Chain A
Amino acid sequence: MADKITTAAEAVADIKDGSLIAANFWGPGTPLYLWRALAEQGARDLTVCINNYVPRAEELREKGMPDAALLLPQTRKIISPFCSAGRSEVPTALEIVRRIEEGTLEFESLSHGLFIERLHAGAMRLGGFYSPIGIGTHIEQGMEKRVINGKEYIFHEPIMPDVGLVSADKADKLGNLVYHGTARAANPIIAMASRYTVAEVFEIVEPGELDPDIIVTPAAFVDRIVLIPDDDIASRNRRIERLLANIEYRQRRAAEAEAAQGGAQ
């Protein structure tokens, strides 16, 4: 049996230009290590499907905070329920706006529920589905609608990523995955929906060490396993650094905002 355990660089080496990449970005459970590897690999014209697209300020980016926009220069389309574009203090947030204006970046908006059910439809290899979410809103513009049992629904296509980058707590050597806390989020669905799934993990154990009853993502969905090195900024050891950097940044921003407001009065 082929060994799934590899380095981040090898795991992302064959990702082609134009690929659809899916990843969970919601604080914990974010594949920081693989994200950076893909930025370094340099595949272009990517479509990025992500639950939260939150560009970070430069200083937090340097300190390894999760930053979806690390791949922005390589991206031609973003599919996301939540995007904090245009925040004036974050250069990459302004860059999103500029790229949309010049026509080199497309943005597709949807809700978190639609995001996960389109991925789930992808996992089930459906042709699409009818959802009631978005009726009467901008979501329905230009979409096919149908009345079923007296209620209106919108047709949505599935999302079937070429590549799923997944963050899990532990893998066994076969690729069975378990998650911890709210780091689970979209990861198990992305693992099932994607044609090629890479999991970054904090720990790899022997088969049998994970209780079969608690395995969330079975090995069949996982093509590659990457162990985050202990000294990397994405490692569990160094998470506290990222947390402290973020707290310090937020407190300073709040103080600056207060000072600015005081000055305006």
Chain B
Amino acid sequence: MKDRLTDELVAMRVAKELVPGDYCNLGIGLPLLCASYAPEGVMMQSENGVLGYGPLYTSDEIDLIDQDMVDAGMRYFQYVPGMSFFDMLTSFAMIRSSRLISILGGLQVSEKGDLAVHSLSDDERTTRIGGSMDLTWGAKRLIVAMTHNAKDGTPKVIRQLTMPVTAKECVNLIVTDIAVIEVTAGGLVLKEVAPGWTPEEVVAETEAPLAIATDLREMEF
């Protein structure tokens, strides 16, 4: 087994896509780690109703927290100047306004950029859609941060989704633990490979066809 990038390194690579002045929503799971590596001047949004929230408190700092200041994943954040609070209607108008960069996890991405991310519940008759359908539809740019393969080794970048669709033709960039892949009108393009990986090895782990970028390079963090 070849070494793959840690979640932290994937998050660091994703964070390089952000520039000061960006507004950004982070999905639950791996994307949340990006907050620590985003450049100063990026304002983070959370769908329960906050823009520009501060760093998170750790569990050692519970004496300091304000229990009415949580992100969508129930983590307590710090007060910072410039932060604003609003209701969910305002929040989802913002999410659908094409002003936010959305970073989501992924269960599967298709060659056309269809995304499956809202996991079905353990029981298939209820769902955990959350805000994912809005975040995928309305994003200025949608970046998926995920492992390249499922736990059982099956590829997650595939020709056609086999899991429930969250949104069609919505993904712009896929950052995984072995590669960076751009979704273009002509199909998927392999832009970067993780250190120690060849493009052929990445292609072998991918079910969807990958064109290899002429300027292919090694991922940097």
Contacts and interface: CB of A to CB of B under 8 A. Distances in A.
**Do A and B interact?**
yes
Interface of B: 46-50, 59, 62, 65-72, 74, 85-89, 91-92, 95-96, 114, 121-123, 125-134, 137, 164-168
B68 A182 contact: yes
A97 B168 CA distance: 29
Interface of A: 26-29, 51, 53, 78, 80-88, 96-97, 100, 107, 109-117, 120, 132-139, 169, 179-189, 216, 239-240, 243-244, 247, 251
B133 A113 contact: yes
Given A87-B122, A113-B96, 10 more contacts: A26-B72, A80-B126, A86-B121, A86-B123, A112-B130, A113-B131, A182-B46, A182-B85, A183-B68, A187-B87
Nearest to A186: B88
Contacts of A244: 62
A186 B59 CA distance: 27
Given A113-B96, A113-B133, A133-B133, A182 B122 contact: no
Contacts of A117: 89, 92
Given A81-B131, A180-B68, A109 B126 contact: yes
27 contacts: A29-B68, A81-B127, A84-B128, A85-B125, A97-B123, A100-B126, A111-B134, A112-B134, A113-B131, A113-B134, A114-B134, A116-B89, A136-B165, A136-B167, A137-B165, A138-B165, A180-B68, A181-B66, A181-B70, A183-B68, A184-B85, A185-B87, A186-B88, A187-B87, A240-B62, A240-B67, A243-B67
A22 B49 CA distance: 18
Given A81-B131, A116-B88, A188-B87, A107 B167 contact: no
Nearest to B132: A111
Contact of B129 (A110, A169, A243): A110
Contacts of A53: 126
Contacts of A110: 129
B114 to A, nearest CB: 8
A240 B92 CA distance: 30
